Amino acid sequence: MSNTDYSTGGVRTVQAILKKTPDVGLELGDVSIITPGPRDVLVRVLKTGICGTDRHIYEWDAWASNRIKPPLVAGHEFVGIVEDTGVGVHTVGPGDRVSGEGHIGCGHCYCCRTGATHICDKVDILGVDVQGCFAPYVCLPESNIWRVDDRICDDQACLFDPFGNAMHTVMAQPISGKQVLVVGCGTIGLMAIGILAVGGVDKVIAVDPNPVKRDLAKIMGADEVLEQCDAAAVKDLTDRGGADVMLEMSGHPGAFVRAFDCVRNGGEVSLLGITTQPIPLLWSEQVIFKGLTIHGINGRRMFQTWYQCESFLRRHPDLIEPLITHRLPFDRFEEGIHAMQGGDACKVVLDWQNAKA
Amino acid sequence: MSNTDYSTGGVRTVQAILKKTPDVGLELGDVSIITPGPRDVLVRVLKTGICGTDRHIYEWDAWASNRIKPPLVAGHEFVGIVEDTGVGVHTVGPGDRVSGEGHIGCGHCYCCRTGATHICDKVDILGVDVQGCFAPYVCLPESNIWRVDDRICDDQACLFDPFGNAMHTVMAQPISGKQVLVVGCGTIGLMAIGILAVGGVDKVIAVDPNPVKRDLAKIMGADEVLEQCDAAAVKDLTDRGGADVMLEMSGHPGAFVRAFDCVRNGGEVSLLGITTQPIPLLWSEQVIFKGLTIHGINGRRMFQTWYQCESFLRRHPDLIEPLITHRLPFDRFEEGIHAMQGGDACKVVLDWQNAKA
Amino acid sequence: MSNTDYSTGGVRTVQAILKKTPDVGLELGDVSIITPGPRDVLVRVLKTGICGTDRHIYEWDAWASNRIKPPLVAGHEFVGIVEDTGVGVHTVGPGDRVSGEGHIGCGHCYCCRTGATHICDKVDILGVDVQGCFAPYVCLPESNIWRVDDRICDDQACLFDPFGNAMHTVMAQPISGKQVLVVGCGTIGLMAIGILAVGGVDKVIAVDPNPVKRDLAKIMGADEVLEQCDAAAVKDLTDRGGADVMLEMSGHPGAFVRAFDCVRNGGEVSLLGITTQPIPLLWSEQVIFKGLTIHGINGRRMFQTWYQCESFLRRHPDLIEPLITHRLPFDRFEEGIHAMQGGDACKVVLDWQNAKA
Amino acid sequence: MSNTDYSTGGVRTVQAILKKTPDVGLELGDVSIITPGPRDVLVRVLKTGICGTDRHIYEWDAWASNRIKPPLVAGHEFVGIVEDTGVGVHTVGPGDRVSGEGHIGCGHCYCCRTGATHICDKVDILGVDVQGCFAPYVCLPESNIWRVDDRICDDQACLFDPFGNAMHTVMAQPISGKQVLVVGCGTIGLMAIGILAVGGVDKVIAVDPNPVKRDLAKIMGADEVLEQCDAAAVKDLTDRGGADVMLEMSGHPGAFVRAFDCVRNGGEVSLLGITTQPIPLLWSEQVIFKGLTIHGINGRRMFQTWYQCESFLRRHPDLIEPLITHRLPFDRFEEGIHAMQGGDACKVVLDWQNAKA
């Protein structure tokens, strides 16, 4: 991929949301439009979503300051129109409406060669390791491009990435007829609830200490909501000795540990919520004797998860609509980040259609 | 099952290895032979294996003193000859050589009714919750009885239970062509190595701090041995960025944590070793970002695991022979336990053929 | 099971729907109520469904005349109340509302011991090999009894058996986000459509030459209906080169062969429809080069399928309601069979509550 | 891929084994060396294997005359040394010893994007649809190149392709502890037997009418050999009512049908042998009531199968050695084809090291 020289190479410049220097904040700044390499696709951006990751980059926390090398255009959730393609690109062309997978694999490690590119050890992530999509144009390898079905509107199409995280977490085990516990009702947890509610499960139980989130959980289709992971309560709400499936979407140490006690013997657990400190389990009692299966979830399966997202979004066009709490023009991005920081926002969508391109 | 009144009901008495009082030690003592209930099978015991669990009962540690209600006949690893059957028993009869599954499920919970009896929440365990097999006779429900193939000798047949633990751990994920790390070379870890070595894997790497165990690991077929879980060393010995599969058989907190760093992205982990304290992981780095799958392993699948054990033991009749370090008449059982305590013994087999029956 | 002597042993007699002699027809006749054996449960029947199998027995076709040994009480679909239990029965008791699995396994073959009792080679089937449920009382082994959730009404509860066939066929492969073709809209095909429609699929395409059945298919939730298996039409209605999943519910030779051409490369096929003559495939072109996976489906998984049925029926209490076209008192059973023969009926439910018991 | 103009574009010419005109035979002829495209790798060929497909092309049978467009260089099994690479190639370089996957997927269909490139609907096959490897140089896309482990000698390395067919067939279902029936002892069937024999199975039963093939089957590790698919004999040789797993490698109509009767209820079947006419099954009796699972097998999974092949070949360096019956310089290729036609040859390896390059 040639887009690492995005900000230096070309002639024409456009306004992007940039981390210019290794410090707190993001700002609008000029970057050049690059010429796509032989395998690359240049996309004119229509809409983007702001992810928690973008907020970390804004806040310049420990993770961000270790990983990010400014100058960097942030952002990895987008929908747009193909503007130009490299000479070796055959599967999409100018005018196609597309989104894209932000995990760019190395292509030759064991994971990449066995259908697990999403966990490539040398992965480059859009808007983290390479120039992102918070700009009028974004460049990605052809193999990362996803053509968007006509029945999916721009607002939902720019959220394939987080929706795909939710989908991947849900689909990591069979869910048909299952009693499912979702721990943590952040954006992705809420998306997971939406998928489960129309996905053929027996029951969805959602947990979040925040009553606003619990209300959203109900709107998304949770059958029951709880303030915290209470094993006795979950046992009462299920009839198999606990949840068949537990999705950990909080990363919160206390919830994480208690959530394991809510799972029945033989149950399955998928972990997506990012943890920031060591969390101890009583392995024998909580995992081994119970015969649990635990799945660590990262990214989206390429492209099984994308096909599943497409299927759910076109069958249920408003599935994630209740989660889009803010729609802003791109140059008011900071309002969106502040809303996220204040806990008011669920999903913020930025509109790039009036960007000078 | 009617064998809970083993020590009180019948007329004829025989000598068994008993926990008589809630205190350290086991002793020979008289118990009555019970009449099997309508669904039960009475087995004349030929040989038994001493398990680590029996040692815990002997030593009367925290686990044992909480769980065991004396008087109790210990022991759950055995081979014997059917002596008598209840009126409702149709599938075995007097003279059949049998072993038996020590996990007695409730029969009507979700796990029991969906092929996961081994993790029934209300399971009774032979020699722990009900009278065990360290006696001239043992009684089990018909559904727990396993007829032994003629090609498997008594010494190996009495070890179906621990060999089944090893088999279950190994078979919890695909192993063909895999690079497998076995952490902990106790008896069951060594059995797992034996299975892997003839099981179609790419390579077996064994870890144990004890050089005697490492030598046994080589005898059992390990390709490489390491003193400890060293991620760099494992990465060097594999060519996919780490082990495809890791079997945790030690329960040791330090090894447990380091072992996760030895697994490649997308790898699978099976946990059998019993832990006795909380063990913390850096979940994001060690499990979630890597996309690992973790299996908690308990008991043996009924009876998939038993069929697999039968297949391996009759194709490789000496597979676990190197692990039987002590053969003793039943009344010298204490020598066996002392040998285990001293670290000299691997597997101790007791002979009951001269027991007065 | 002791119910093979149903019609001879006891004192009190009741009226049942009987095949008395090896000839066409079924008639009401007196049978005795048996005393359940030590592991058996005697159930007072409330409602029963008439299955195509009962019709075959009525019509005394080649299959029936080869398999059935009169005198035989027909019927295997029921709901009722436990009346009495054998001494060894612990999990249900008088007053419990129950249905039951009609496949009675031998309990000791490889299939029975590895969680596949439904395909036991020596299976006895209720109302086929042993006395059935078209009577005021039916007797089954405890392990075949299924306690019915309060939220499921009698009319639906007596249909667990055929609904379980549909569920087993649907759940033989992952369905989330899949484009599914259902070939044949008989009762079980229609039930499958109902499951799929609320089961998280992308799209359901149903095929039947009968316009009444196609209308029912739409009522059950089919997105598209076709008169026949037309590969070009299916390709147009899907966007992956054909159906991801094909469920063959017709057994019709022509449809069977063409249906394989409607499946995309790498797709999955489940076969439930009974075939009565050899059907040829061009294996290389239709299966091998396409990399298909084919599942033969028989009965219901015990009891995974029953749990799934329970989950769907209590979440969607009217799921199969549109398929119950006839409700009749038991003594008008012949009207029901005639309606099935005429093609008017979908599901006929018989009421036994006024039977002299 | 640019190698479709192999024979026309370049300046230097070399001698290849060519189908020059649409007629019987293959001949040596001059072709030009092409310049690899930006994503391509040019390989100097060391050794090649002759496949049955090459023989079909030689014999110009119905399949060949329909599919092949002369002029075409035949051959798809090879090992060689990278000579040159396109500008976009990063993962291999000149001097690397490589083999390659002959199935060149389109890269953007559902199969290609979900890890099933081997069954891409628009696949181009090396030596069939594009210029093959029976030449001093062969050109393939980078993504099809496989770097060969040092421990695997050239003679075995040039056979990754057929060995991969065998591996894919074997690994399509779990084999650990299974009783496996291999129907048809051609080269690939014999390779499958070799894999199974060291792969952790319970028992291998091989079927072939030819006694020479049965002897080879024993050399490769079959435990039992049979002249034909005799269900009673297989039942006797197994103890679960038939084979757990059946691999159909013959394509012979009679064997194909009878082989299904040799499988136990709940067994799995993998089909690789190419059939040339419709073959009828009694589906209800042979597949549906038995609850079989059937896998159609095509090509090799990319690149799971290749990793498995690598693992087995480096752990067992002589695994397929007994099957290489002929080693010839490339210009004596016709002797090899005649030997195959005569039934004497198993695998013929051609040496290209003295080809003028």
Task: Please state the φ and ψ torsions of residue B146, each to the nearest 5 degrees.
Answer: -125, 120
Among A88, A90, A91, beta carbon nearest to D38: A88
Which residues does A contribute to its contact with B (CB < 8 Å)? 109-111, 114, 116, 118-121, 240-241, 251, 256, 264-266, 271-272, 274-284, 287-298
3-class SS at B32?
A: strand
CA-based torsion, B54, B59, B65, B70: positive or negative: positive
Residue B357 — pLDDT band, cuts 50, 70, 90? low
Choose, from C53, C85, C169, C305, the residue flagged as catalytic. C53
* N- to C-terminal Cα separation, chain B: 22
Residue pair A347/A322 in contact (Cβ under 8 Å)? The answer is no
Instruction: Suggest the residue from C109, C244, C248, C288 to mutate for an interface test with chain D (most D CBs closer than 10 A).
Output: C288
Alpha-carbon torsion (C269, C272, C273, C279), positive or negative? positive
Mean pLDDT of B52-57: 96
> Phi/psi at C94 (nearest 5 deg)?
-50, 135
- The pLDDT tens digits for B299-342 are 999 999 999 999 999 999 999 999 999 999 999 999 999 999 99
Contact B110 C307 (CB under 8 A): yes
Beta-carbon separation of C279 and D283 below 8 A: yes
Mean pLDDT, rounded, for A26-41: 92
Provide the token pair at B109: 């919970």
- CB < 8 Å to C177, chain A: 307-308, 310-312
DSSP 3-state assignment of B9?
A: coil
Q: Tell me, what DSSP letter sits at residue C133? A: S
Angle, helices A160-170/A187-197, rounded to nearest 10 degrees: 60
Strands A137-141, A40-50: pairing is antiparallel
CA distance D212 to chain A (A): 38
Q: What is the mean pLDDT of chain D?
A: 95
Q: Which chain A residues are Cβ-neighbours of C314 within 8 angstroms?
A: 202
CB within 8 A of D288, min separation 6: which ones?
A: C271, C272, C274, C275, C296, C297, C298
Q: What are D8's two structure tokens?
A: 């026309």
Half-sphere exposure of C131 (CA within 13 A, CB side): 29
Cβ–Cβ below 8 Å for A282 and B275: yes
Which residues on chain B place their C-beta less than 8 Å from a C-beta of chain A?
109-111, 114, 116, 118-121, 240-241, 251, 256, 264-266, 271-272, 274-284, 287-298
In tens, the pLDDT along C126-166 reads: 999 999 999 999 999 999 999 999 999 999 999 999 999 99
Beta bridge partners of B98: B80, B147
pLDDT of residue A87: 85
Judge whether D196 and D219 are in contact, CB under 8 Å. no
What is d(CA B270, CA B301) in angstroms, rounded to the nearest whole number?
14
Our CA angle for C61, C67, C73, nearest 5°, is: 90
Contacts of A306 in chain D (CB under 8 A): 113
Cα–Cα dist A256/A321, whole Å: 28
- A124-125/A103-104 β-pairing: antiparallel
A275, A277, A278, A283: CA torsion to nearest 10? -40
- Asked whether the beta carbons of residue A121 and residue B272 sit closer than 8 angstroms, the reply is no
Spell out which residues of chain A touch residue B118, defining contact as CB-CB under 8 Å: 291
CA torsion through residues A118, A124, A128, A134, sign: negative
**Residue D102 in 3-state DSSP?**
coil
Question: How far is residue D187's CA from residue C284's CA, in Å, rounded to a whole number?
Answer: 19
Question: Nearest-CA residue of chain A relative to B300?
Answer: A291
- Phi and psi (nearest 5°) for B236? -65, -35
D326–chain A nearest CA distance, Å: 33
Which ranges of chain B does DSSP label H, i.e. alpha helix? 52-59, 62-67, 110-113, 154-157, 160-170, 187-197, 211-220, 231-237, 253-261, 283, 304-315, 333-342
Classify residue C36 by its DSSP letter: P
The tokens describing A327, both together, are 């729609």
Residue D128: both structure tokens together: 């069939």
Range of weakest confidence among B174-178, C228-232, D7-11: D7-11
Residue B1: its pLDDT value, please? 36
Whether residue D283 and residue C272 make contact (CB cut-off 8 A), yes or no, is no
> 3-class DSSP state for residue C103?
strand
C200–A199 CB contact, under 8 Å: yes
Q: Looking at residue A81, what is its pLDDT?
A: 98
**Catalytic option among A48, A53, A169, A305:** A53
Catalytic option among A8, A21, A56, A118: A56
* pLDDT in the model for residue A343: 86
Mean pLDDT of B273-278: 96
Percent of chain D at pLDDT > 70 equals 97
Asked whether the beta carbons of residue C271 and residue D283 sit closer than 8 angstroms, the reply is: yes
Q: CA–CA separation, C323 vs C186, rounded Å?
A: 10
Contacts of D66 (CB under 8 A, 6+ apart): none
Tell me which chain D residue has its CA closest to the CA of residue B170. D176
**Chains sharing 3 or more CB pairs under 8 A with chain B:** A, C, D
pLDDT band at residue B4 using 50, 70 and 90 as cut-offs? very low
Report the residue count for chain D. 357
Return the pLDDT at D357. 67
C176 and A198 within 8 Å at the Cβ level: the answer is no
What is the pLDDT, as a whole number, of residue B344? 79
Contacts of D242 in chain C (CB under 8 A): none
Asked if B296 lies within 8 A of A278 by C-beta distance, the reply is no
HEC assignment per residue over chain A: CCHHHCCCCCCCEEEEEEECCCCCCCEEEEEECCCCCCCEEEEEEEEEEECHHHHHHHHCCHHHHHHCCCCEECCCEEEEEEEEECCCCCCCCCCCEEEECCEECCCCCHHHHCCCHHHCCCCEEECCCECCCCCCEEEEEHHHEEECCCCCCHHHHCCHHHHHHHHHHHCCCCCCCCEEEEECCCHHHHHHHHHHHCCCCCEEEEECCCHHHHHHHHHHCCCEEECCCCHHHHHHHCCCCCEEEEEECCCCHHHHHHHHHCEEEEEEEEECCCCCCCEEECHHHHHHCCCCEEEECCCCCCCHHHHHHHHHHHHCCCCCHHHEEEEEEHHHHHHHHHHHHCCCCCEEEEECCCCCC
Q: What is residue D132's three-state secondary structure?
A: coil
Point out the catalytic residue in the list D53, D85, D187, D305. Answer: D53
CA-to-CA distance for C16 and C27, rounded, in angstroms? 8
Report the pLDDT value the prediction gives residue A337, as an integer from 0 to 100: 97
Tokens standing for A105?
Answer: 């694999």
The confidence band for A221, taking pLDDT boundaries of 50, 70 and 90, is: very high
**Interface test mutation site (partner A, options C170, C176, C300, C306, max chain A beta carbons within 10 A):** C176
Spell out the residues 6+ positions from residue D291 whose beta carbon is closer than 8 angstroms to its own: C116, C118, C119, C295, C296, C297, C298, D265, D266
Decide if B283 and A289 are in contact by the 8 Å CB cutoff: no
A neighbour chains, 3+ CB pairs within 8 Å: B, C, D
pLDDT of residue B88: 82
Q: Which among B56, B103, B168, B252 is annotated as catalytic?
A: B56
Question: What pLDDT, on a 0 to 100 scale, did the predictor assign at position C87?
Answer: 85
pLDDT-based confidence at residue C34 (cuts at 50, 70, 90) = confident
User: What pLDDT digit, counting tens, does each position of D25-63 carry?
Assistant: 999 999 999 889 888 999 999 999 999 999 999 999 999
Structure tokens at B21: 């009082």
| Nearest alpha-carbon partner for C83 in C73, C92, C71, C95 | C95
Cβ within 8 Å, pair B200-D176: yes
Residue D24 exposure: Cα atoms within 13 Å on the Cβ side: 4
pTM (2 d.p.) = 0.97
Instruction: Pick the closest to residue C137 from C192, C75, C89 (CA basis).
Output: C75
Residues of chain B contacting C, Cβ within 8 Å: 38-39, 87-88, 90-91, 107-108, 110, 113-115, 143, 302-304, 306-307
Question: Which pLDDT does position B34 carry in this prediction?
Answer: 82
Q: Are D38 and D87 in contact (CB under 8 A)?
A: yes
CA dihedral defined by C124, C130, C135, C140, rounded to 10 degrees?
Answer: -50
Is a pLDDT exceeding 90 seen at residue C356?
A: no
Distance separating alpha carbons of residues A229 and D141, to the nearest angstrom: 52
- Shortest distance, CA D64 to any CA of chain C (angstroms): 15
* Residue C310 vs residues B28, B110, C82, C142, C190: alpha-carbon distances, Å: 52, 13, 19, 19, 18
Given this model, what pLDDT does residue C6 score? 41
Q: Measured between CA atoms, how close is C241 to chain A, in angstroms?
A: 14
Residue A121 is nearest to which of B119, B265, B298, comparing CB atoms? B265
Does position C250 have pLDDT exceeding 90, yes or no? Answer: yes
Task: Please give the Cα distance from C194 to C162 (Å, whole number).
Answer: 13
Chain D: residue whose CA lies nearest to C301: D291
Residue D285: strand, helix, or coil: helix
A-C Cβ pairs (cutoff 8 Å, strict)? 51
Give the pLDDT band (50/70/90) at residue C357.
low
Active site residue B53: yes
pLDDT in tens, D110-126: 999 999 999 999 999 99
| Chain B residues lying within 8 Å of D177, measured CB to CB | 171, 307-308, 310-312
Partners for C (CB, 8 Å, 3+ pairs)? A, B, D
Calpha distance A38→A85 (Å, rounded): 8
SS3 content of chain D, % helix, strand, coil (to 5): 30, 30, 40
CB contact under 8 A, A283 and B275: yes
Q: Which of C21, C35, C56, C238 is catalytic?
A: C56
Question: Quick check: is A114 catalytic?
Answer: no
Q: What does the pLDDT read at residue A357?
A: 67
pLDDT reading at C105 higher than 80 = yes
Say whether pLDDT at C111 is over 60.
Answer: yes
Q: Mind giving me the DSSP string for B246-292?
A: EEE-S--HHHHHHHHHTEEEEEEEEE-SPP-S-EEE-HIIIIITTT-
**Residues B266/B291, Cβ–Cβ less than 8 Å:** yes
Selection from C135, C95, C141, C127 nearest residue C13 by Cα:
C135
User: What CA–CA distances, in Å, run from A272 to A250, A299, A316, C113?
Assistant: 8, 9, 24, 37
Contacts of D121 in chain C (CB under 8 A): 241, 265
- Chain C residues lying within 8 Å of D118, measured CB to CB: 291
Measured in degrees and rounded to the nearest 5, phi and psi for residue D203 equal: -160, 145
Quick one: average pLDDT of C188-193? 98
- Calpha distance C76→B212 (Å, rounded): 62
Classified as helix, coil or strand, C192 is helix
CA distance D216 to D324: 11
Nearest to D64 by CA among D102, D118, D21, D103: D21
Q: Please give the residue of chain A at the shortest CA–CA distance from B282.
A: A278
> For residue A109, which residues of chain B lie inside 8 Å, CB to CB?
240-241
